Amino acid sequence: MSTLSHADRLHETLEQWLENTKVGDPEKLHSDLPRRWERFDNVALLPLHSFTSDLWTEIISETWWAEVAEALKVERLFRKGEIKGERRESTAELLYGEGVDVERIEHGVRFVYRITECMFSQGNLNERARMGSINVEGEQILDLYAGIGYYTLPLLVGSKTTEVIATEWNPNAIRDLHKGLLRNGVENRCTVIEGDNRTHGKRLQGCFDRVILGLLPQPWEGLQTAVEALRPEGGILHVHGIAPVENPEYWESEVIDRLKAIVPDAKIRGVEGIRVKSYAPHWDHRVLDVQIES
């Protein structure tokens, strides 16, 4: 006997609902069902605008959400919201179930966060995995825009002796970063500094082998801080940003040019440019690894 997919079960649930209630336009409702969603923990995270059209007005209820949860084999349903403000905060909405704290597990790393307040980009999966696989043993690393630990946690879990300073200005993200550090048992190798990283002064200067600048759309305001944070002999920067799909080299050249303007006497070279994910039509999220030698 064949096993129905989650999508098939969702259509079957709607079909049964319509037979029982005799409301709505079956063809339009079936075509308006979400076609994909994220499943993790005991959660299904539905796409933005799922079940929001007027077609669903007569159907949406606690009973309906319970049926959807059963079809998707989860205990909680959320709907994505817009990412808002300078702090890139989530506005995901709880539709069914109890509790808004969730856990994702990627490559052995546990991310714990409040889904209605903190964002999490599934598209950055490969870059998070890469950070966890590079050899950083014994290094001192600065994560300038740490969030809930998107790159801090893989770096720490993937090594035994690495130490990370994580700076972050969003108190919600800081709360969840601390949870993630504890959940992964790496809290003793990370120091979290709250506030705007441009105001931390000498505390960050000249101490680090590697600096991560994981801020979109561009981390230009953090370049000066990042360069000054490297050891006197130099180090590695992982510079994130958005670049034209057809000409990523243009963005990479801009990164190098901006760094040369800060330290004109240093030797600066792009080591590797990597596509992380699609960001918007004609634009990609990319990261450029840069070697700086004084």
Are 214 and 68 within one domain? Answer: no
Are 91 and 164 within one domain? Answer: no
What pTM did the predictor assign? 0.92
How would you list the strands of the sheet with 210-213, edge to edge? 190-194, 163-168, 140-143, 210-213, 234-244, 283-293, 267-280
Does 2 score more than 60 pLDDT? no
Q: Could you give the CA distance from residue 228 to residue 244 in angstroms, rounded to a whole number?
A: 28
Domain-located, residue 91: yes
Q: What is the mean pLDDT of residues 144-169?
A: 97
Question: At 222, which CATH number?
Answer: 3.40.50.150
* Structure-block tokens of residue 35: 């076609």
Domain-located, residue 115: no
Are 130 and 177 within one domain? Answer: yes
pLDDT score at 48: 94
- Residues 83-139: tens digit of each pLDDT: 887 778 889 999 999 999 999 999 999 999 999 999 999 999 999 999 999 999 999
Q: Output the DSSP codes for 168-221.
A: E--HHHHHHHHHHHHHHT-GGGEEEEES-GGG-GGGGTT-BSEEEE--SS--GG
Are 80 and 128 within one domain? Answer: no
Are 92 and 134 within one domain? Answer: no
Does 54 score more than 80 pLDDT? yes
Question: At 60, which CATH number?
Answer: 3.30.300.110
Are 196 and 239 within one domain? Answer: yes
- Residues 240-279: tens digit of each pLDDT: 999 999 999 999 999 999 999 999 999 999 999 999 999 9
Are 145 and 272 within one domain? Answer: yes
For residue 293, the cross-strand partners are 234, 267
Are 152 and 252 within one domain? Answer: yes
Domain-located, residue 248: yes
Mean pLDDT for all residues in the chain: 95
Does 1 score more than 50 pLDDT? no
The total number of structural domains that make up the chain: 2
How confident is residue 201, by pLDDT bands cut at 50, 70 and 90?
Answer: confident
Are 43 and 142 within one domain? Answer: no
Domain-located, residue 37: yes
Task: Write out the residue range of the structural domain in which residue 22 sits.
Answer: 6-96
Residue type, 93: E
Are 147 and 201 within one domain? Answer: yes
How confident is residue 26, by pLDDT bands cut at 50, 70 and 90?
Answer: very high
Is the Cβ–Cβ distance between 256 and 224 less than 8 Å?
no
Is the Cβ–Cβ distance between 113 and 46 less than 8 Å?
no
Q: Tabulate helix, strand, coil % of the chain (nearest 5).
A: 35, 30, 35
Are 238 and 125 within one domain? Answer: yes
